Structure 1
């Protein structure tokens, strides 16, 4: 894959992320304004419970699928490996979903603090199995580099959920309508994806020939996912314990906006890891370093100004996309945006440990971050409320980045572009200073402010700071012209 092809695929996934985030942005005010902080808090608790248990159903096999099948050419090996993983996860996911279904009353009283939430938990329990299966089906298209197919399926999932949620909410189904809409769309996504998969690789009852090898690689990653959940999502449980479900709703809405930074790393990481795996297996270490270095540079080029922009526009964003009861969460957004930026840096660099198969270091990094996160949450939430949870998340990710760099660079070291980072921070500060006095109060004025700020930042970076060389600008120009 040439650099141009890599950039082209990243652009496709980037556009997909913009469209899906647009769907999510439209969905956020729809749900928050219809359900209110309390019911939205319940939905947030269900969502993070699903995000906790889905990795337990997957047992890290989604990453094994990417790592072992990215360079595979034999169609029989691909078919055997793919169906072995899908069938195995079908059993593990079903078991976990059924267990949550049976324990719904206990979870409702002990975690959600309201027995009335039990029916929602029972309905949502099936999302654990479906989320795991959907992830595997989509990862097949990632492995086989069918970027356009992946993009279309992702857009279908996002907008399908939006329109179905809208229909059920207008029909008076409330929170149960949100859950049912998500279930229906996830089922449809898996069916459509598997029809496409079967057409390409055929169907066969798996013999589980390679499953033991996959599990040896993936099982050490499973605790990482669970412990990563502690860093990412356990604050919602602790907020619920200390402050109540209503505060969970306020925090979750602010978190959803601040965490938009993570969208910028998704298209890069989606293409990056399979390509790095192929290059590393072909012993092209120089190309590995180039891909890592420029992936980080282009992510930071977008993420740093986005973090500044989210920080200065935090309050108007909440006013526009939610209701007045959520505006108190505006102080959370700057910290979550910074945490998202740090998370993106971490995701680029942690690829190194996967390439050299030193995944045991991942566990240590996530454990340290999780411990820091829980301790700080317990200390700060009672003192300063939901802001304490946001600060705890930011400091946890800072620790992850520092440790990750110190460990990963022992095996593969690449340019972090320190000068570029300083220029981007200065340019973002200039942009933020111009944007801050403006206070958009509706979507159109918000778009004008964001567009103006983007133009200022790009001009400062390219014209005044000359942050990109001629070859980089020429490659981007050619990419844009080809897309047009």
Structure 2
């Protein structure tokens, strides 16, 4: 019952958090130039790529350690992370000047130093916010988790409108608004954790070494996942043009609505699994039954989605303008059914510290995705990208199941 409630809660939060770009879209397209709008999402991509390097797999490490150790050790884990951020902030400050000169060397003379500071600050704060938010998730503190999500969505929308309209009709105003919101939420979360006495602000070298050893491969896993998610549209644009990209992207975005369920499974399942795994009540047969239940629910939602969702498409999309998107919706939606199952099995490898295998699986899938698209996009069109996404999701699931089965054989207690 707790698993069901947490899954439902995280589903609602995932849906709610996705409204920010949709609400801001008409406002930003009105007040930002086309160039500024393009610059904005280029910077957003850079921030999204930078954040995994700063996180270095900490949220997953934190989730794994939370139920494996006592209260005092948990305080040291969180305290070591927070303490290490002072060093990371110093490191970003040291490299900012040489990075700025490198950017200028490559011909981007109009790139201002303050922009680089803004990118570093936003990436740095995003990483801390994700880590603190994860703490409330794994401790099932849904009140603070939900409150933080609500504040972030409303503050992001409100401040973006205020900053863009009153300060500057520029992409920097939007990024600055996000930075201000995240700064407030990081301070807010730290105050709550301090009041709850949830951390000891000390630097434990052994914990830090364990974190780096565990989390370093997950940097490459996150980068590979980004390549897996974005490369198809970039390659379609390169080989087939922007019109084909636009049609495929609309179909992809609608099919990716199934991702709400897969994300909810990941956020609700992993803390439940880690808690169960480290308790005396852990029962592998019970866990298998839950995974089977989640799989059946994912299939049922998918069947409902393609049965009724496709009939409702004309209400949201001009099908004469975006012809053929239905086939992309069906294939992409199915791939996210497999990602829901992947989300259930990945924690098995995390508790066994098999992060290298997880990174390798995602890297193999991303490389295959790029190669198949390069080989067949020109001759067979965008449908190749959809089938490639599906093939890679199946491949990831097969490889994860292989390593999980191997781990269960070698370590029956897992």
The C-alpha deviation readout for 1:367-414, integer Å capped at 9, x for no partner, is 21011122134345666776665554343223212332343344569x
Is residue 52–residue 127 contact of structure 2 (8 Å, CA) maintained in 1?
yes
Distance 1:374 1:10 in 2: 33
Kindly state the Cα deviation for residue 166 of structure 1 after the two structures are TM-superposed: 2.7
Are the counterparts in 2 of residues 57 and 89 from structure 1 also a CA contact under 8 Å?
Answer: no
2:330 and 2:245 mapped to 1: Cα distance? 18
Among 34, 45, 55, the residue aligned to 2:52: 55
**How far does residue 277 in structure 1 lie from its aligned partner after superposition?**
1.5
Equivalent in 159, 166, 173 of residue 164 of structure 1: 159
Alignment partner of 1:365 out of 351, 361, 365: 361
Please give the per-residue CA displacement for 1:77-107, whole angstroms capped at 9, x wherever unaligned: 2221102123324534664587577546866
Partner Cα separation in structure 1 for residue 292 and residue 391 of structure 2: 24
Cα deviation, residue 122, structure 1 = 5.6
Gaps spanning 5+ residues in structure 2: where?
410-414
2:216 — aligned with what? 219
Rounded to whole Å, the distance in 1 between the matches of 2:253 and 2:92 is 27
1:205-244 aligned at under 5 Å gives the runs 205-208=201-204, 209-235=206-232
Q: For residue 207 of structure 1, give the secondary structure of its aligned residue in structure 2.
A: coil
Alpha-carbon distance in 1 for matches of 2:46, 2:331: 23
Are the equivalent residues in 1 in contact too, given 2:82–2:201 (CA < 8 A)? Answer: no
Residue in 2 that maps onto 1:354: 350
Aligned partners of 2:377 and 2:104: how far apart in 1? 22
> 1:146 offset after TM fit, Å?
0.6
**1:301 alignment counterpart:** 300
Distance 2:177 2:369 in 1: 33
In structure 1, runs of 5+ residues without a counterpart are 414-484
Residues 83 and 206 of structure 1 are in contact (CA less than 8 Å); yes or no, is this contact kept in structure 2?
Answer: yes
Q: State the number of aligned residues.
A: 403
The whole-number CA distance in structure 2 between the counterparts of 1:123 and 1:238 is 30
SS of residue in 1 equivalent to 2:196: helix
1:201 aligns with 2:197: yes
SS at match of 1:201: coil
Question: Which of residues 97, 111, 121 in structure 2 aligns to 1:126?
Answer: 121
Alignment match, 1:434: none
Equivalence for 1:67:
64
Aligned equivalent of 1:140, options 128, 135, 141? 135
* Distance change in 2, residues 1:90/1:381 (3 Å): farther
CA distance in 2, matches of 1:122, 1:247: 36
Return the TM-score normalized by structure 1: 0.70
**Kept in 1: contact 2:67–2:275 (CA 8 A):** yes
Partners of 1:61 and 1:312 in 2: CA distance: 43
Distance 2:308 2:46 in 1: 30
Q: Does the CA-based 8 Å contact 2:77-2:207 persist in structure 1?
A: yes
Listed one character per residue, the Cα deviations across residues 157-196 of structure 1 (whole Å, up to 9, x for unaligned) are: 1222122223334445242222122111111221111111
Residue 179 of structure 1 is aligned with which of 172, 175, 178?
Answer: 175
Say which is worse superposed, 16-25 or 48-57, in terms of deviation: 16-25
Partner of 1:82: 78
**TM superposition shift of 1:130:** 1.4
Deviations 1:222-266 (A, max 9, x none): 322222222123456656766899998887676555433222222
> How far 1:348 sits from its partner (Å)?
2.0
- Alpha-carbon shift at residue 114 of structure 1 (Å): 7.5
Query: 1:298-377 maps to which residues of 2 (within 5 A)?
Result: 298-306=297-305, 317=316, 335-377=331-373
Greater relative contact order (CA < 8 Å, ≥ 6 in sequence): 2
Secondary structure at the aligned position of 1:224 is classed as helix
Cα distance change on mapping 1:248 and 1:270 into 2, 3 Å: same
Show the 5 A alignment for 1:439-458. none
* Corresponding position: 1:261 with 2:221: no
d(CA) in 1 for partners of 2:53, 2:225: 12
- Residue 334 and residue 348 in structure 1: after superposition, are their counterparts in 2 closer, same or farther (change >3 A)? same
The answer to whether the 8 A contact 1:62-1:136 is kept is: yes
Local SS of the residue matching 1:210 = helix
Query: CA, structure 1 residues 15+395, in 2 after alignment: closer, same or farther (shift >3 Å)?
Result: same
Q: Deviations over 1:118-155 (max 9, x none)?
A: 67666333221111111111011122211221111112
Whether contact under 8 Å (1:231, 1:370) holds in the other structure is yes
Note if 1:45 corresponds to 2:42. Answer: yes
CA contact (8 A) 2:83 2:203 kept: no
78 and 24 in structure 1: CA distance in 2 versus 1, 3 angstrom threshold? same
